[in-house]
Amino acid sequence: MGIELILPKKIYSGVASFESVRLGFTLARLNNLMVCAGDIGNAYLNGQTREKLYIIAGPEFGPELEGKRLIIDKALYGLKSSSARFHEHRSQTLKKMGYSPSKADADLWYKQVGDHYEYIARYVFTVVSYLFIPKIGICF
């Protein structure tokens, strides 16, 4: 399998600071918000890669594709820029959901919902949500 790789310049991917996560717990306690945490499975499959990357298909791709060059357009585990691409994808998704990044920490997001604010802190594949919801599920 041959791989041609041309790296983009921007591969930075930030995470919420521990202080922001702790601040979220404090805000949750003061405002009677529930705290839910979860990991995002197959996270990199949601981001588009900017790298020019292809593989030469092996026998595992079947006789129709074997030996052909296949262009990769989704981010993959192991690429230097995959985390940054997923970070961009998640930022776009949070914006579509009405969240805005805080000025203190770009990975602590908030939005006004009625008479209160709700928060989301993101740390690589982990999301911590501070929400006003009924006490159900795996929230603490």
Q: Is residue 140 part of a domain?
A: no
> Which residue range forms the structural domain that includes residue 52?
4-131
Residue % of the chain over a pLDDT of 70: 71
pLDDT in tens, 51-89: 777 888 899 999 999 999 988 776 566 667 777 777 788
Asked whether residue 139 is domain-assigned, the answer is: no
Number of domains in the chain: 1
pLDDT for position 1:
47
State residue 112's pLDDT score. 92
- Chain-centroid distance, C-alpha 60: 30
**Which is more confident, 2 or 98?**
98
User: pTM of this prediction?
Assistant: 0.66
Which of 135, 46, 55, 50 is closest to 91 using CA atoms? 46
Structure-model confidence comparison of residues 136 and 126, the more confident one: 126
Look at residue 126 and tell me if it is in a domain: yes
Whether 65 maps to a domain, the answer reads yes
- Considering the domain boundaries, does residue 136 fall inside one? no
**Looking at the domain assignment, is residue 69 inside a domain?**
yes
61: buried, middle or exposed (CB in 10 Å: 19+, 13-18, 0-12)?
Answer: middle
Residue type, 69: R
User: In this predicted structure, what is the pLDDT of residue 111?
Assistant: 93
pLDDT at site 140: 45
DSSP type of residue 127? E
Q: How far is CA 10 from CA 7, 26, 30, 84, 132, in A?
A: 9, 34, 38, 8, 36
What is the pLDDT, as a whole number, of residue 134? 56
Closest CA to 122 of 29, 47, 46, 43: 43
- Read off the pLDDT of each residue in 103-122 and give the average, rounded to a whole number: 89
How far is it, in rounded angstroms, from Cα 49 to Cα 77?
A: 11
Does some domain include residue 60? yes
Check pLDDT > 60 for residue 25. Answer: yes
| 15 in any annotated domain | yes
